[in-house]
Structure 1
């Protein structure tokens, strides 16, 4: 009777009043979330870079940071997390990226290569989401300037004359720059022995110092040293010649089409980052990359602008690349570290 007098119907411990209160709180929660997404960004954005300062990803992230800051007048902080072929950077994104203020700038190889080369603690095709392809990139085989060769045929002849073979550096063990050298050795019968580094800068330092004679590296990091005459290019691992290295032939031109694939850098988020935020930063990023100034900067870095593909299309591309990389790693008897 008391229940009827208060006008509240009760079923066990549940009342219509408590239901109405719960609905009201839920609506307030959704409204608060929507308002937060609408006002985004309201604080600094972090771009975590899967590579060292001065590397290709770092240069690209700082270019993007400038564009995002111009658009939103909010600080965009670039933080380098080199090591373990991008795993440390991915871990940072996994720990901090849900609210939409931490993103990742890294090669697509973090999905298609790293999980094959290292024992990782993330699921590559479900724990990461590529929001935008920032640039397409090639590799270049570069040599110490004192090495007595100036082209690939001369290098092959010289390499065969060395009983102990030749060492070559790469920016990470088990990644594309590593398998490129091992594949070249197989195709040419030159004994090429790999020396892995934590990023391009330390490898290039040893290359210039004569500690290693050769290196497969990203064009962006090698280009300034090539232009300065501190190292010399031998051939380009890319489908076409690089605009900033017009006189350097591709491996494909030289008879090695197996060394012609393009890689790419992307802007990544956690899949559960709010969709509205994902879409907003993707659109601003793609618009920025279309600007002539951004295009010019990419060219200076030895990169081509990325294509405006969807996240699903980018993942399909990476699945194919992963299958190819798995075959290469098997061919050199590589075991995940």
Structure 2
């Protein structure tokens, strides 16, 4: 056998051995996963819906795998700080992001990001989805959305709307209302839903787009008036509250979602294992009941289907953002 052919054969054998070793290493990783605590990064402060869901998932992951799960709240920059900490983390399945729709809205808002949303983060599972509620202070002389629009037009540059973060669904929804109703509501972004809802309850805000999950304990408190909801259908918690779509507004149908992501490069076997377990947890009767009581729709969607949702929703949000000429503050 010529020397060159022998050398090629040896190289081929060496490559095959290396590939086999690599494959064996990945399988070993997934079989032993998890072998240490898992960190669930929430890019928003404690108390909001994202935080509640993270703690619910974390508690059940611990019960399933007997490994500690640590909820790590990393608020700031409308979620970018927490998102980036996961995008830059080791791709081993031990740093997990609990993210929201703002993740895929930011690119359309031309936000400068230190990561590539669609390449640096891998979708694992969709937990749940929710609607936003447009609420006003009870002192507002308006019992319907049309009455509010008429009042706000008659008193320009007076009212503001609070959102649970710059570049979030609530920000987009508020700017869409400004454009479609011809209003000039001033955007007041908060660093999470909990602080926003608290200021709405205390009367610091005149109006707000609040997440139904964060507002759920106060829906019937009388401390704010609910005029309309986003989403394709009325909420079962608020059957008397009309949707924006019913009232003639456009592009309010998409729901906000809560999902799980890991860094790019995380072995597929680990992604699949984590995905299957989270979906199983979400569909447990006690967990799905808790999620429903938060005012959320229970999804429990695995990685492949969640990736399709991201692609479809990114196009919908991009179109809505461009039509409303929304820019991040």
Same-fold call, TM cutoff 0.5: yes
d(CA) in 2 for partners of 1:295, 1:332: 35
- The corresponding residue for 2:71 is 78
d(CA) in 1 for partners of 2:225, 2:178: 19
Task: Flag the 1:36–1:318 CA change in 2: closer, same or farther, 3 A.
Answer: closer
- The corresponding residue for 2:314 is 322
RMSD in angstroms over aligned alpha carbons?
2.7
Q: Is 1:222 aligned to residue 215 of structure 2?
A: yes
d(CA) in 2 for partners of 1:115, 1:209: 34
Which of 268, 274, 285 aligns to 2:278? It is: 285
Which SS does the other structure have where 2:155 is aligned? Answer: coil
Task: Flag the 1:258–1:34 CA change in 2: closer, same or farther, 3 A.
Answer: closer
Is contact 2:127-2:259 (8 Å) kept? yes
Q: Counterparts of 1:91-240 in structure 2 under 5 Å?
A: 91-111=84-104, 113-117=105-109, 118-240=111-233
Report how many aligned residue pairs link the two structures: 323
Is contact 2:102-2:167 (8 Å) kept? no
Q: Provide TM-score, normalisation by structure 1.
A: 0.86
Q: Provide TM-score, normalisation by structure 2.
A: 0.88
d(CA) in 1 for partners of 2:320, 2:20: 53
Task: Flag the 1:32–1:217 CA change in 2: closer, same or farther, 3 A.
Answer: same
d(CA) in 2 for partners of 1:238, 1:336: 23
Q: Structure 1: give runs of 5+ residues left out of the alignment.
A: 1-9
Q: Deviations over 1:85-142 (max 9, x none)?
A: 221112111232411111111113302x122331002112111111111001111111
Which SS does the other structure have where 2:301 is aligned? Answer: coil
